[in-house]
Every structure is written in structure tokens, then in C-alpha cells.
Structure 1
Amino acid sequence: MTDILFQPYKLNDIISLKNRVLMAPLTRCMADDALVPTDDMAAYYARRAEAGLIISEATIIRPDGQGYPNTPGLFTPEQINGWRKVTDAVHNNGGKIFAQLWHTGRTAHPYFYDGDTVIAPSARGLEGTVPRMRELSYQVPTPATVEQIKQLVEDYAQAAANAIDAGFDGVEIHGANGYLIDQFLHYDSNTRTDQYGETPENMSRFALEVVDAIATRIGHEKTALRLSPGAYFNMAADVRDKAVFDYLLPELEKRNLAFLHIGIFDDEMTFEHLGGRASDYVRARYQKTLVGVGGFTPQTGATAIESDRFDLLAIGRPFIANPDYIAKVKNQQPLTEYSEEMLASLI
């Protein structure tokens, strides 16, 4: 019943995958204090190289993008060299790996980068405290100027170039889960009245500028994007958001990306203004390679692919619990159940 998961899949003329199972990006907060990937991280990813493609944990593009402790970066020579150890280890085990590029926007905190402001589309703060550092409360962000937005676009493109220098096979732009790019795409966090706000075209502008800058720098075949059309994390829902994604998805389809990846924790979650599941909403508007994720078993994921709901399946927490996930599923062996204490170490 799961045979389709283990069929090769061609993303494009440059990148082919040995199977349809991706390791989803999983924030582990295990980089060193200079945000450099460690030898333990290299071994951790190498053990999972049987995935058709690994998407790295979210990796910040510049210092003020940090919103969690010890998340790796891709903006210093030391970080690039650290990631090179990871990509070499994955490639030596026959795998492929994309870097997920990240700026947390209004969920960043100056504590991490010795700053005094947080940059975001608008001065719309988020209630709550920083994960894993509950003593830090979120701050009301400072709206980015147009000049600062243009610099962010350049910094995303530079981080993508750094990823290729570090040996990654490509990049996935993190445009989901309530972080910076996603903040431009939702009315809850974007109240701008300039060319980056108010209308679907304007609210999509930053995401498309980042995509285009990265595709120009490293090639569209090596450029992917993750999106959350349904606000579900770090974001309040607004029925007007649908019009933004109605505009954005056809624009993305024109760009021949490596793939588009749904950002959702549970794909059974439904959104009234989207007419149901986020993945079904996207599939109806985007016919190129789509990655589904969110609570799938090998069996339900295979069924979803067979039903053409999406083309590739990303698996998250089960990959933490089962470094040999691919072998276990192929051989119909029981999977170790994920538990939160597994986050305390890299195995």
C-alpha cells in the first residue's frame, strides 16, 4: 500500500529524488553559541539520508532574524563551513539536502542579537513569550522601511548563495508559520498602506521578490517555498487572506520552482474561508510539484499521493524518533513513537 512512496521522483532536469518521502524541517536548537552547526548535527542528518530529500531545520539569514536559542545561521564563514560538514555527511550517505531559509520577523527577539528593535511588516505585536526562553516576551515590532525590505530581499538571496557554497542541493524559503514572509501575506500582521500592503498584489510582493531574487541567484530549479494559506500558528485568521493566496499561487506556478510545500502541523485542520484543508485549497490552484505534510502515516500519505492531493510527502516528528524511517516503512517494521523528551538530544 505504500509502494508509491518509494518511487523515484524528478523535480526538474537538475534534481531527481530517489523516493517521494521528504524529511520535514524540524527546529532542534542544537547549534553552538555562534550558531554554527555541530558535528552532532552532521551525524544526525547523515543518519536520515535515505529520505528522498532532507529539508534542514530553519536557518536564519541574518542576526536579527533569530527568535529561538541556538538556531543555526547561514551568514558567517564559520556557519557556512559548519553546514558544509552536514551536507558532506548527507551526500556521503547518498542523500540530498535543501537549506530552509528563515527570518522570524515579529517573533524575533533583540536578546539574541544585541539589538533594540524587531523588524516586521507592521507594528503589530504578538502576545506571548519566546519558545524555550519563557522569560522573554515578544516585542511590538518596528515596520520595515521600503529600503529595509529591499535589503532583506538581498539578504535572502545572499543566504541562498551561501547555502550553495555550503554544499546544499537547493533551498526552501520559509514563507509559512507566521514568520517574516508569512507576516506580509496575512491581514493580521500586515496593515501597511504602501506597495507592500492593502491589496493581494501588494501583500504578495515581498514573497515574490524574495523568490525571484533567489531564483536569479541560484536557479529556479534549486528554489522552493513553504506557505501557510491558513493562519494557524503565530497568526490570527482573516477571511481576506484567501484573496492574497488566490493571487499568489498562480504567480508562483509561473516560476517553475523545485516545489511548493504546505506549512501546517495537522493537515486535517480545516479553514472555512479556504473551503476545507489548506493542502486541497493549494492543489486546486497550483498544479506543479506540491509537498504535503501534517500528521500523515505512510499509508495515509501514500493514499493522498495516489489521489493526486499532492506529489511528495514530508514527514516530521517520526523522523526524529526513527532515523531509519525509510527502511522501517519499506520493511513494514513498527515505528518508534515520538515523544517530547527526544528533543533533548540529537540521535
Structure 2
Amino acid sequence: MTTLFDRYRLGGLTLPNRVVMAPMTRVRAAADGLATPSMATYYAQRATAGLIVSEGVQPSLVGQSNPGTPGLYTDQQVKAWQPVTDAVHTNGGRIFAQLMHGGRVSHPDTTGTQPVGPSAVPAEGEVFTPTGRQPAPVPRALSTEEVPAHARSYAEAARRAIDAGFDGVELHGANGYLISQFLSDTANLRTDAYGGSVTNRIRFAVEAVAATVEAVGAQRTGIRLSPGAGLWGARESDVPELYRALLAELAPLGLAYLHLEASTDEETLVGLRAAWPGTLIVNPVFPLGPRQADRAAADHWLTLGADLISFGRAFIANPDLVERLRQGLPIAPHDEATWFTGGDAGYLTYPAYRHTA
């Protein structure tokens, strides 16, 4: 019987366990999207995870969603990430960079430019800006001629990620950001080759992944998807058909993994497991839902065919999460008020479990 603590071969990496640290925005980067020494400490503290997937990293300035997030589109950003990846590797870990283009989920006050998206349809809700939350603005619809450059931006950032010492990259195709917006039939109202039919709506995702594979290799490329999540108003009316079609196009590329969020019904997700021939990571709870991933949820998905299980919020307050799961130790609560506040409080201040006599 497969357990969370079995080794796993992922591309060219041997993972000591099947616990993945999921990507989580923590907005601790310095000005100009530079990684910091505190970020190096944060990730190194969690290096016992089989694999770490970093917070979302913007592949371009216009792709930045939130203030305080890091980038991978300048030489200075590459240099700033190198101590982070070195710290993880020194502590025996492995780390992929999540490449996240926010698309319409952004604001001119954050980037100095109008957000872009598949169509001139604003996201639902308020977005983070340097002065607080504001209503999501109307994005500028990308022209047909512009779209391929934004797909290639993932590949360009992937090359920089490898230069920065990352073991690979994960394209953020989930949670209502740019790839997810193209997949959506509410955010994407296009009538060209990138909109309308399922075949057209998956085109941007496939082009972005294919370009990244060409840039850094399939064994260094994964993608995260959230079927049916509907976050930021990016809804899909044809989830099983849409994602089966997408996986059929991605499967021949031989990716390192597919990372699925449990954002739709279990029957659909199990069907996607059957349709995917490679490594599957499952995040076993709805994104930012009331339930936090735990050992029971992980074991359930391992029996359903997942190869690896990702934990998000549980890693915030538990840098030693793998050992806590292994020994059945209490999972410490995190302080939601410090998620996005900057500084080391609620970031580097959670200790490992202390045994008492």
C-alpha cells in the first residue's frame, strides 16, 4: 500500500516522501520583485517536503497580480533567487518555481500598466493593490497577434528559473489567473483561434506549456489546474469535456506532473486521473475552502490514484509538517492575519514541534 512517506521518482529527482508543499502567496518580496534572505530561510525551513512549489512568480511586469510578489524576468531577480534555491538544496530539498501570470487579476496601481486578459471583462471581486483592496479593473483584451508572446513569457521565465537554481517550474493554470481565464467561457469571449470552442480555449494553455517544455525540458515542467473552481469569476460550463481535451493535448509532452486541485466533484477528478498517464499531484481540498488538507484526505487520494499530495495552509505554521504527519503529531494553527502582511512575523516565527518529557 502506498503511503505519504514512500520515495517517488519525479523526472530526474528522487523525492524522499510524497508530501508536496503547495504554492502560497506570501508577499514578502522586496522592491522590483526581488527574493529576500527571509524567503531563503522560509523555504529552507520546509525542505523536508518531498517537493516545494514556490509562491506564484510573475513572468513579466504586466503579469504581476499582487504587490510584494517576486518575479523572474530580470537578471537581478535571477540573482536574488539563487540564495533561496541554494538554501533549499543545502537543507536537502527540491524546489520548483510556480510561474503565475495574473492576467486580469491585477491593477494599474500595482504594475503601472493596465492589466491584460483574453477579453475586456473584469474579474469578480476586489484585487490587492499597494493602498489596499480595490475593485478589479477592466483589462485590455489581448490582440490575436499579442497572445503568443504572453504564452512564451512562461518559457522565458522558466529559463531564468533554471538559471536561478530551481529544479523545475510549474505553470499556474488554476484559480482564475491568465491560463485559467483563457480556459473559461465567462472570462474568454473571444471569437478568434483562442476563444469559443473547447479546442480554441485550451490553445493558450497548450502553447504556454509546449513553449516551456521546449525551453527547459518536459521533466522540469509541470502545470497546476483547478477544474470548475470559478475563482475570480472565471467559470467553465463544460468542465469534464474541457479538461479531458486539455489533458489529451498535454499528455504527449511528457510533463513532470499534473497538479490538480480538488475544485470539482470527485467523479470528474477520478476521470481526469484515468485520462492522465503521468505523475499526478492532488491538493485534496477546495482552494481556500473551510477545510485544511490533512492526513486522512491525503490517504484518501492516494487510494484513488494520486502519486503525490500537496499541502498548503498546513505548511504555514508547520515547517516540520512531514514529521508531524509521520508521527501523528498535532498540526499547529496558522494566523491568517499575517498571511499577506510582510515581515517575518507569521512567516519565520513558527517553530518545529517541541516534545515534552
TM-score (norm 2): 0.89
In structure 1, the residue matched to 2:275 is: 285
Give percent identity, aligned residues only.
Answer: 41
Q: Distance in 2 between the 1:288 and 1:184 partners?
A: 24
Task: Give unpaired runs (5+ residues) of structure 2.
Answer: 286-291, 349-357
Which residue does the alignment assign to 2:61?
A: 63
The letter of the residue matching 1:184 is F
* Matching residue's letter, 1:296: A
- Give the aligned partner of residue 6 of structure 1: 5
Residues 192-237 of structure 1, C-alpha deviation per residue, up to 9 Å, x if partnerless?
1111111111111110111111101100000000012213311253
Which amino acid is 2:190 matched to?
A: R
Superposed CA offset, 1:18-68 (max 9, x none): 110000001000101211011000000000000000000000000011121
Q: How far does the alpha carbon of each residue in 1:71-116 deviate from its partner, in whole angstroms, 9 at most, with x for none?
A: 000111111111111000000000000000011011111112212x
Q: Structure 1: state its 5+ residue gaps.
A: none
Kept in 1: contact 2:96–2:169 (CA 8 A): yes
Deviation at 1:285, TM superposition (A): 2.1
Return the alpha-carbon distance in structure 2 between the equivalents of residues 257 and 88 of structure 1.
24
* 8 Å Cα contact 1:181/1:207 also seen in 2: yes
Shift of 1:282: 2.1
With over 3 angstroms needed to count, the CA separation of the structure-2 counterparts of 1:86 and 1:277, relative to structure 1, is farther
| More divergent stretch after superposition (32-41 vs 3-12) | 3-12
Partners of 1:228 and 1:278 within 8 A in 2: no
Describe the shift of the 1:224–1:329 C-alpha distance in structure 2 as closer, same or farther (beyond 3 A): same
Contact in 1 for aligned 2:189/2:195 (Cα 8 Å):
yes
Letter in 1 for 2:7: P
> Which residue among 81, 84, 87 is the counterpart of 1:86?
84
Aligned length: 335
Separation (CA, whole Å) in 2 of partners of 1:88 and 1:182: 32
> Pairwise mapping of residues 218-229 of structure 1 onto structure 2 (< 5 A)?
218-229=216-227
Contact 1:46 1:89 in 2 (8 A): yes
Instruction: Tell whether the 8 Å contact from 2:183 to 2:236 is kept in structure 1 after alignment.
Output: no
Residue-by-residue CA offset, 1:116-138 (whole Å, 9 max, x unaligned): x2210111112322136544221
SS at match of 2:99: strand
Distance 2:128 2:326 in 1: 36
Tell me if structure 2 keeps the 8 A contact 1:74–1:80: yes
Superposed, 1:91-102 pairs within 5 Å as 91-102=89-100
1:334 matched to 2:330: yes
Name the residue aligned to 2:352: none
Residue identity matched to 2:122: G
Tell me the equivalent position of 2:119. Answer: 122
Residue of 238, 241, 252 corresponding to 1:243: 241
Please tell me whether residue 322 in structure 1 is matched to residue 322 in structure 2: no
**How well do the aligned residues superpose, as a CA RMSD in angstroms?**
1.8
What residue identity is the alignment partner of 1:205? R
CA distance, structure 1, for counterparts of residue 136 and residue 202 of structure 2: 25
Following superposition, the deviation at residue 147 of structure 1 comes to 2.1
Normalised TM-score (structure 1): 0.92
Residue 233 of structure 1 aligns with which residue? Answer: 231
- Amino acid aligned to 2:73: F
Residues 63 and 278 (structure 1), Cα distance of their counterparts in 2 relative to 1, 3 Å cut: farther
SS class of match (1:154)? helix
The 1-side partners of 2:251 and 2:60 are apart by 28
Decide which moves more: 199-208 or 97-106: 199-208
Residue identity in the other structure for 2:112: D
1:258 matches 2:259: no
CA contact (8 A) 1:225 1:259 kept: yes
| Distance change (3 Å), C-alpha of 1:171 and 1:256 | same
